[in-house]
């Protein structure tokens, strides 16, 4: 995995970036190294540098809204790239749990990943009417949850910054 957790000056998570971008922030003295991967090094012809895992920007970045944008890609990511009815990962599309014709909206809690077969079977009916069940209820992911989902993984040394309750437990 070649991603780095970027923390704000107050140690709250900002984003995830590439190792190259993190190195540039460190090199230009715009960020401090918080955690590195001991088994790896970044090398030039004449120098060796720590391989960053967590960095902290030196100046506070004000972000007014840390919401996750609702998009087709992000719904697939939230649902793990699997149909929420049968679990397959083939021929995926988006389904409205409560059909639009019945007043269902295009929201995080009403959209799920579904395969074409299940989407056709459900059609324009409520789940109960066709005897189908969701594997899990659709929810709007928090910003921190979304950071965890980024690139499908996160490092153990990110845990104290993404989930402070688990780190102190």
- Summarize pLDDT for 93-135 with one digit per residue, the tens: 999 999 999 999 999 999 999 999 999 999 999 999 999 999 9
Q: Give 56's strand partners.
A: 7, 32
- Beta bridge pairs of residue 111: 96
Place of tokens 């209820």: 137
pTM above 0.85, yes or no: no
- In the predicted model, what is the mean pLDDT of residues 54-62? 94
Q: What is the pLDDT of residues 14-26, one digit of tens each?
A: 888 899 999 999 9
Could you tell me how many residues make up the chain? Answer: 169
Angle at 11 between CA 5 and CA 15, to 5 degrees: 30
Lowest mean pLDDT among 78-82, 83-87, 120-124, 165-169: 165-169
Class of domain 72-130: mainly alpha
Per-residue pLDDT band for 151 (boundaries 50, 70, 90) equals: low
Q: How far is CA 151 from CA 99, 131, 135, 163, in A?
A: 31, 34, 23, 18
**Which sequence spans correspond to the domains of the chain?**
1-64, 72-130
Which of 71, 83, 143 is CA-nearest to residue 112?
83
Phi-psi label, residue 65: left if phi above 0, alpha if psi -120 to 50, beta otherwise = beta
């Amino acid at each position: 995995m070649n991603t780095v957790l970027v923390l704000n000056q107050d140690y709250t998570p900002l984003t995830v970036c590439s190792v190259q971008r993190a190195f540039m922030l460190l090199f230009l003295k715009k960020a401090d190294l918080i955690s590195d991967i001991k088994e790896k090094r970044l090398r030039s012809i004449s120098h060796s540098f720590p391989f960053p895992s967590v960095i902290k920007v030196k100046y506070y970045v004000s972000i007014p809204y840390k919401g996750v944008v609702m998009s087709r890609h992000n719904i697939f990511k939230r649902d793990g790239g699997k149909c929420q009815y049968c679990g397959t990962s083939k021929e995926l599309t988006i389904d409205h749990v409560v059909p639009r014709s019945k007043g269902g909206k295009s929201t995080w809690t009403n959209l799920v990943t579904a395969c074409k077969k299940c989407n056709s079977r459900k059609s324009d009916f409520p789940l109960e009417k066709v005897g189908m069940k969701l594997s899990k209820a659709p929810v709007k992911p928090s910003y921190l949850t979304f950071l965890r989902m980024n690139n499908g993984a996160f490092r153990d040394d990110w845990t104290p910054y993404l989930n402070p309750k688990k780190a102190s437990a």
